[in-house]
Structure 1
Amino acid sequence: MKQLLFILMFAGLAAFKPTSSHHISGTVYDENKTVLPGAQVLVTGTRIGTQTDAKGHYEIDVPDNRKTLTFSFIGFETQTIKTGKSNTIDVYLKASNKSLSEVVVIGYGVQKKKDVTASVSNVNPAPMQDKSSRLMLSEKNSKMIYGAQASNGYMMEPPQVENTESYKGINENGFKTVSNEPLSTFSVDADAASYSNVRRFINNGQLPPADAVRIEEMINYFHYDIAGPANDEPVAIHTELSAAPWNSKHRLLRIGLKAKTIATDKLPASNLVFLIDVSGSMNAPNKLPLVQSSLKMLVNQLRPQDRVAIVVYAGAAGVVLPATTGNKKTTVNNAIDNLQAGGSTAGGEGIKLAYKIALQNFMKGGNNRVILATDGDFNVGASGDDDMEKLIEKERESGISLSVLGFGMGNYKDSKMETLADKGNGNYAYIDNITEARKTLISEFGGTLFTIAKDVKLQVEFNPAKVQAYRLLGYENRALNKEDFNNDKKDAGDMGSGHTVTAFYEIVPAGIKDDYSGSVDPLKYQKNKPVTYASSSDEMLTIKFRYKQPASSVSKMSHTEVYDKPVALASTTTDFRFAAAVAEFGMVLRDSQFKQHSTYDDAIKMARSAKGDDSEGYRAEFIKLAESARLLSPGKALASEE
């Protein structure tokens, strides 16, 4: 009997012999030998696929019984290439003559435009096949699948879900007259989630909802060459003034901030709690599997003096790993690998427990932080935006920050996650693929996790002798009252090690006739008194900058003056012009009422001329993204908004 059982076991093992595969890598270009980030690479006839990174590079494992790869990208002809025996295949895609009214590329393949409507809910992925295909990831065998992850390179299909994505409404900043409102005050912020989320929409063949486009986050996604502070101050401030590219009669002021960079080995010890959403809504390849791979990247950056605990939540919350030192990476990674998704979403309970664990292991003078990884779809207990805001405001008093990593699509709750990170004194990133995870958690490791200056605020006073009206581009959700600037109890944004922040003001010079200054009828019960302006110099404005040291509750202030001496747009830095191109693209993308003469063509042209040093390929990726948006725009295929 034992001998028969042994024979049957041997036969069973033989029947499940793994299929061997052929590892292929390469780069996808257009006809001008420019790389194509976000191009789809598919093993023909299967759902095995990947996506090119910011440098147009891809890697994929092709089963030996498959002999061709299919390459596609928005606005280009799809090509099918025989794999042969080569390990490297570079592909050059030709621009398509077909209108996007006929064909678009979406995240799960190519469809005719008539089959795709404006709603995300109508772009449904194929149904989940065998649940046993949901395997645990290792960094060695994980591959990008349409911006998601799959074990051994195989596509894992998410279940069909109705589109319930939500975005906080944006009441776009308008022009303000200096005579009535000479002060502009806002909280400095360096989040960049909006850009990667917008990229996800466009690479999936759709224009994003207008409220998903936060212009300041689009601009601050990119690295800018700003000099850091030369003294002991934590942040340096720089300005640049030129004509606005979309209206030559207006000025465009760039304010650039750069936080001091601290070497990794000099950074304070970290007390981290990974708070991971393992509810049923996370059961998709671009959710929990991508969370696992992303967090393991972060684990590999930890030092022996760092500690990390893991809290998960679904229908309830629990601790799956107590605080563990950073040199026990295998233990931490094994705990991450063992996670599986299922159940409802008690996000509020998870947050309370994560803060409790962080407080139990609090490091005085250290980096105490909860890192939440979720799609934001909370549905048990405290779940509304207001409920979560009150919860975080209460918890942050403990001195523990909250960073938020957003994942997924279809039920993504951007509005909730932006609020959580804002009120939790942390940063917010949207991770749509493993390349973005690497950028957020490795390339920008210090800036993401280690605060250099907290409660950072800017207040700009405009000289009415020089400025008639002004408009702050973006930062609508960061606006402060003028009296908040001097109030040290008022919470504001934080800056991390090496972080850069860019803000733009569009300025209408005094004496310029346009439609933006506005007017009101003379008052009936008060007489308007003539105003004598004190300044007769060339000062256009004064920028006041306020911040606190990480361990201090008292702020410091510095200031700088900007003179009415604009330089020609062509003479500005490449950073100024590229950031302005991103701002112009954002205004066109959200169809801003203040876009004036902005066009996709002008934004793309300026970005091309200002690409500068683009060693990581992110600026080239932006140019391709803007070109794809331009191709999508005639159909006005706007995704639905909540």
Structure 2
Amino acid sequence: MKKIVVLMLMAAAVASACAQNISISGNVISIVDKSPIVGIIVRVKGTSMLVTTDSKGFFRFDNVSSRGTLLFSAPGFSTRIIPIKGRKSMTVMLTPESSPIMWDSEKLVICEDMSGGSMPASLMNKTESTDESYSKISENGFKRTTDSPLSTFSIDVDRASWANVRRFLNLGQRPPQDAVRIEEMVNYFDYNYPEPADKTPYRISTEVAACPWQEGNLIMRIGIQAKRVATDSLPSSNLVFLLDVSGSMSDANKLPLVQSAFKLLVNNLRAKDHVAIVVYAGAAGVVLPSTSGDKKTKILEAINNLSAGGSTAGGAGILMAYKIAQENYIKGGNNRIILATDGDFNVGASGDADMERLVEEKRKSGVFLTCLGFGMGNYKDSKIETLADKGNGNYAYIDNIQEANRMFGKEFGGTLFTVAKDVKLQVEFNPAVVEAYRLIGYENRMLNAQDFKDDAKDAGELGSGHTVTAIYEVIPKGVKSPFVKVVDSLKYQATKLTPEAKEGMEMATVKTRYKLPEGDASIPFEVAVPFRKGKINVASESLRFSSAVAMFGMLLRSSEFKGTLTKQQIVDQAKSARGTDGEGYRAEFIRLVEAYNDKITD
């Protein structure tokens, strides 16, 4: 009997040891050329834990069962299901679904394949219907230059849309049309624009080429490059982390990812920086008063101790965060609230209009608001975007630790330090050479012509090192188009062209206005755009790649203006403009376009 008991205890001990939680990391590479694969979704089977591989194909999980199973999948690659079996590292080789290469489990992965065969990622990752919300987008149409020569809009450095669209594509799903904000897709990628040589906070560059999707038309690209400020030269920061810890944030890609992301930011803090942490669930509370950035252990401990539960009193949390930010305000410094949430507010001020009025009132304090979206299923993009737009801040979607590292590691200064605020653009087109034009994207950033010189009108902020790209499709004078509608001649006035217009040397003039971070009066700055008709294949790498991204946005939105656009055309143009691509973001874009199937349902 004693022997049986001893054996049972030994078996239990062995089982306990086998089931211990461990950390596991690894790399995913292609069987074709052994190159790292960016954006592979790695799941822990039977849990909500999920990460995606970074630019080096790297992934990592902490606190997973040693007897768990990992699933590797992405559109365009065969899915692999691999048991962990106590291993702490692994290298996994994947093959494109179209590749004729046959699998050999012993040679391709250090763990055997337990799936019993390959399964398309698009089937493996189908998810149930969701309760996500997006603001409706009505696509910009063409405007006749003689009727509307001015196009006025606010800049947008937000990048949330592409990260969110990427999430849908990686899951084998077509993103909702209103989730596709083309300007945010384009502005996700970096471009080699010239930097300002004087004290101006940014420099404008322009380029014109033949339109790839509509013969006879042109595309005009406007590029803005903000000056770069070295991290050690950035002013002192007064930061308030406003973290949603409600019950809806319990998933692995919500609060646990929030904690990992903010730890990256804490590592970049300096002694002259200060951080407070406010959380909200059923009520709002302070878990860390304003603390010096050199007390990293104390700040990290507060982050580690967070847990999710309760309803979502977002309005109360925002009020408390602004109160603390104002109490610790640093004149001439970077005063900013960083909100992390899935946007699912349901207690107190929760409607879009209520939250908008609240943040509009509080931005007068000089405190900026950065909004970070997390998670899926109940993600409220519409609410988070509203807060960022009205709070003098930026908006990003964090779908993995790689994206968090981009925000808080590589682009620390651009994320947190504003070099110019309320930046507006007004493009005046020359009616002598331009019949009509349309701005691609920026639908929710459009302004009235009179708003351009109105310093009370809010506009976008530009961070250190940020780039902004805007693309117009232009119908030259004399080109017939079904999108240019005939209107009757005016009875009481006529268009009179200036000598400059008649010379036809300029297509447009790009006018901008901006304020310094603590200024109230806007400063004008403008450049002229020469009239050219260069071929797209000889255009700059920046124009070719940015327009390829815009083309994919039009394809995802089923745009009525997409003309002869095809998926292969996007792939070919993007590949020709991939460039050095040190972080692999452009390669990831190309892979997702190649794997995209326009037959899949929303």
Provide TM-score, normalisation by structure 1: 0.84
Rounded Cα–Cα distance in structure 2 between residues aligned with 1:453 and 1:296 = 27
Map 1:292-303 onto structure 2 (within 5 A). Answer: 292-303=259-270
Q: Could you say which residue in structure 1 is the equivalent of 2:573?
A: 606
**Contact 1:33 1:92 survives alignment (8 Å):** no
Instruction: Give distance in 2, aligned partners of 1:487 and 1:541.
Output: 22
Q: Which residue of 1 aligns with 2:317?
A: 350
Distance 1:565 1:456 in 2: 27
Who is 2:39 aligned against?
A: 38
Larger deviation, residues 514-523 vs 476-485: 514-523
Offset, 1:609: 1.0
State the distance in 1 between where 2:431 and 2:532 align: 16
Written as runs of structure 1 = structure 2, the 5 A alignment for 1:454-469 is 454-469=421-436
473, 481, 488: which one aligns with 2:448: 481
> CA 1:23–1:253 in structure 2 vs 1: closer, same or farther (change >3 Å)?
same
- The partner residue of 1:536 within 479, 491, 502 is 502
Shift of 1:233: 0.8
> 2:74 maps to which residue?
73
Q: Secondary structure at the match of 1:276?
A: strand
Query: By how many angstroms is 1:77 displaced?
Result: 2.6
Q: Distance in 2 between matches of 1:283 and 1:445?
A: 27
Judge conservation of contact 2:235–2:334 (CA < 8 Å) in 1.
yes
188-197 vs 26-35, which deviates more? Answer: 26-35
1:219-618 aligned within 5 A: 219-522=186-489, 526=491, 529=494, 531-534=496-499, 535-537=501-503, 538-618=505-585
Aligned to 2:97: 95
State how 1:94-173 maps to structure 2 within 5 Å: 94-96=96-98, 104-105=120-121, 110=124, 121-122=128-129, 163-173=130-140
Q: Which residue of 2 aligns with 1:3?
A: none
Question: Aligned AA for 2:185?
Answer: M
Unaligned runs of 5+ in 1: 1-10, 123-162
Change (3 A) 1:42 1:264: closer
Tell me the distance in 2 between the aligned counterparts of 1:82 and 1:312: 37
CA shift, 1:57, in A, is: 2.9
Of residues 49-58 and 317-326 in structure 1, the stretch that sits farther from structure 2 once superposed is: 49-58
CA distance in structure 2 between the partners assigned to 1:239 and 1:76 by the alignment: 39
Asked whether the equivalents of residues 29 and 56 of structure 1 are also in contact (C-alpha less than 8 Å), the reply is no
Give me the whole-angstrom Cα distance separating, in 2, the residues matched to 1:65 and 1:82.
7
CA distance in 2, matches of 1:234, 1:258: 9
8 Å CA contact 1:464–1:533 kept in 2: the answer is no
Query: Quick one: structure 1 residues 20 and 522, their matched pair in 2 at CA, closer, same or farther if it must change by over 3 Å?
Result: closer
Q: 1:93 is aligned with what amino acid? A: T
Map of 1:58 onto structure 2 = 59
Name the SS for the 2:91 alignment partner: coil
Q: Using the alignment, how far apart are the partners of 1:47 and 1:397 within structure 2?
A: 40
Distance 1:611 1:489, change over 3 A: same
Aligned partners of 1:82 and 1:385: how far apart in 2?
A: 45
- CA distance in structure 1 between the partners assigned to 2:481 and 2:333 by the alignment: 52
Identity of aligned residues (%): 54
The answer to whether the 8 A contact 1:77-1:96 is kept is no
* Residues 36, 532 of structure 1: alpha-carbon distance in 2 compared, 3 angstrom cutoff: same
Measured in 2, the distance between the counterparts of 1:270 and 1:425 equals: 16
Write the distance in 1 (CA, Å) between the matches of 2:289 and 2:166. Answer: 36
Distance 2:345 2:92 in 1: 43
Residues 556-588 of structure 1, C-alpha deviations (whole Å, 9 max, x = no match): 111111111232212211111111100000000
**SS of equivalent residue, structure 2 residue 196:** coil
Q: 1:543 to 1:42 in 2, by over 3 A?
A: closer
Cα offset, 1:81, TM superposition: 6.5
Tell me how far apart the structure 2 counterparts of residues 344 and 499 of structure 1 sit (CA, whole Å): 36
1:198 aligns with 2:200: no
Distance 1:44 1:93 in 2: 21
Question: Are 2:588 and 1:634 equivalent residues in the alignment?
Answer: no
Question: How far 1:383 sits from its partner (Å)?
Answer: 0.4
RMSD, matched Cα: 2.8
**Post-superposition shift, 1:521?**
3.7
2:4 maps to: none
Counterpart code for 1:386: A
Q: Which moved more, 1:21-30 or 1:176-185?
A: 21-30
CA offsets 1:406-438 (integer angstroms, 9 cap, x no match)? 001111110111110010000000001111100
- Measured in 2, the distance between the counterparts of 1:75 and 1:397 equals 49
C-alpha distance 188-82 of structure 1, shift in aligned 2 (>3 A): closer
Native 8 Å contact 1:28 1:39 kept in 2: no
Structure 2 vs 1, CA of residues 424 and 60 (structure 1 numbering), >3 Å: closer, same or farther?
closer
Deviation at 1:384, TM superposition (A): 0.6
TM-superposed CA distance for 1:58, in Å, is 3.1
| Contact 2:26-2:59 within 8 A present in 1 as well | yes
SS at match of 1:606: helix
The answer to whether the 8 Å contact 2:75/2:172 transfers is yes
Aligned CA distance change for structure 1 residues 96 and 15 (closer, same or farther; 3 Å): closer
SS in structure 2 of the partner of residue 418 of structure 1: helix
Given that residues 240 and 255 in structure 1 are in contact (C-alpha distance below 8 angstroms), is that contact kept between their aligned partners in structure 2? Answer: yes
1:343/1:430 CA distance change after superposition, 3 Å:
same
Match of 1:189 in 2: 156
Structure 1 residues 30 and 283: CA distance shift in structure 2, 3 A:
same
Q: How far, CA to CA, are the matches of 1:450 and 1:188 in structure 2?
A: 16
CA distance in structure 2 between the aligned counterparts of 1:406 and 1:20, rounded to whole angstroms:
29
Contact persistence 1:465–1:533 (CA under 8 A): no
Which residue identity is paired with 2:124? V
Q: Structure 1 residue 216: deviation in Å?
A: 0.3
Query: Equivalents in 2 of 1:231, 1:528: separation in Å?
Result: 43
| Structure 1 stretch displaced more, 490-499 or 85-94 | 85-94
1:36/1:624 contact within 8 Å kept: no
Q: Would the alpha carbon gap of residues 384 and 46 (structure 1) be closer, same or farther in structure 2, given more than 3 Å must change?
A: closer
TM-score (norm: length of structure 2) = 0.89
Contact 1:25–1:60 (Cα < 8 Å) also in 2: no
Give, in whole Å, the separation in 2 of the partners of 1:334 and 1:473.
Answer: 45
Q: How many residues align?
A: 572
Equivalents in 2 of 1:49, 1:421: separation in Å? 27
| Deviation of 1:592 (Å) | 0.8
2:455 maps to amino acid: D
Secondary structure of the structure 2 residue equivalent to 1:255: strand
Question: Closer, same or farther in 2 for the Cα pair 1:204/1:14, shift >3 Å?
Answer: closer
**Distance in 2 separating the partners of 1:164 and 1:47:** 17
Residue 124 of structure 2: SS of its match in structure 1?
strand
Specify every segment of 5 or more residues in structure 2 that has no aligned partner in the other structure, as ranges.
1-10, 101-117
Letter in 1 for 2:247: G
Q: Which residue number in structure 2 is paired with residue 180 of structure 1? A: 147
Q: Distance in 2 between matches of 1:41 and 1:464?
A: 54
How far off is 1:73 after superposition?
2.6
Q: Paired residue for 2:6?
A: none
